């Protein structure tokens, strides 16, 4: 919790609904210097004849041009992100953050949706890579969960993300 939230009366243990009401009533919404906070660049970190491995900090940055790619994302692999992704493109594979898994393993709940769509999917542990930083997922990430399609391709828990991506790509 930051100082501004504390000044508005937000307290530890308060429900998210109560905190949101305090913050909403405080002032008019405004942009507070977002320049540089989000890297919109998509980085190609590996290539093969079958496609590429592309790092993007959020799955929301994917587009139709990523259909042959394995997307390595900094965002979580929950249903809301995967649903939005599949409305844009059905990539070869997805490796996302598990967001610390969260309640009911919801940080990886999109893996089944990917499997149903024919997409290999895996998550990296949020303890191994920074959330929101795709290049950390790629360089530091350790696989924490995967769907059946990814497992059939050789992806396994404990594997480095770059190894898992290559299994999906090849």
pLDDT tens, per residue, the chain with 170 residues: 888 788 888 899 999 998 888 887 776 666 555 556 677 889 999 999 999 999 999 999 999 999 999 999 999 999 999 999 999 999 999 999 999 998 999 999 999 999 999 999 999 999 999 999 999 999 999 999 999 999 999 999 999 999 999 999 99
Report the distance separating Cα 99 and Cα 41, nearest Å: 21
Helices (H), 72-160: 79-88, 110-116, 134-140, 148-152
Tell me which residue of 76, 56, 67, 74 sits closest to 119, measured CA to CA: 67
Residue 143 · residue 112 · CB < 8 Å: no
What's the predicted TM-score (pTM) here? 0.81
Helix (H, G, I), strand (E, B) or coil at 95: strand
Torsion of CA 42, 43, 46, 47, to 10 degrees: 50
Between CA 70 and CA 65 the distance in angstroms is 12
Residue identified by tokens 């949020």 is: 126
């Amino acid at each position: 919790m930051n100082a501004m939230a504390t000044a508005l009366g937000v307290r530890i243990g308060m429900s998210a609904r109560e905190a949101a009401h305090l913050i909403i009533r405080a002032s008019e919404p405004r942009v507070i210097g977002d320049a540089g906070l989000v890297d919109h660049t998509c980085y190609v970190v590996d290539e093969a004849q079958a496609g590429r491995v592309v790092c993007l900090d959020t799955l929301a940055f994917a587009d139709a041009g990523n259909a042959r790619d394995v997307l390595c994302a900094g965002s979580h692999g929950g249903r809301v992100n995967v649903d939005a992704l599949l409305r844009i493109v059905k990539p070869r594979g997805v490796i996302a953050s598990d967001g610390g898994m969260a309640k009911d393993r919801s940080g990886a709940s999109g893996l089944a949706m990917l499997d149903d769509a024919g997409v290999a999917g895996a998550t990296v542990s949020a303890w191994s890579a920074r959330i929101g930083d795709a290049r950390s997922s790629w360089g530091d990430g350790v696989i924490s969960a995967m769907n059946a399609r990814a497992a059939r391709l050789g992806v396994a828990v404990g594997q480095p993300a770059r190894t898992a991506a290559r299994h999906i790509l090849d």
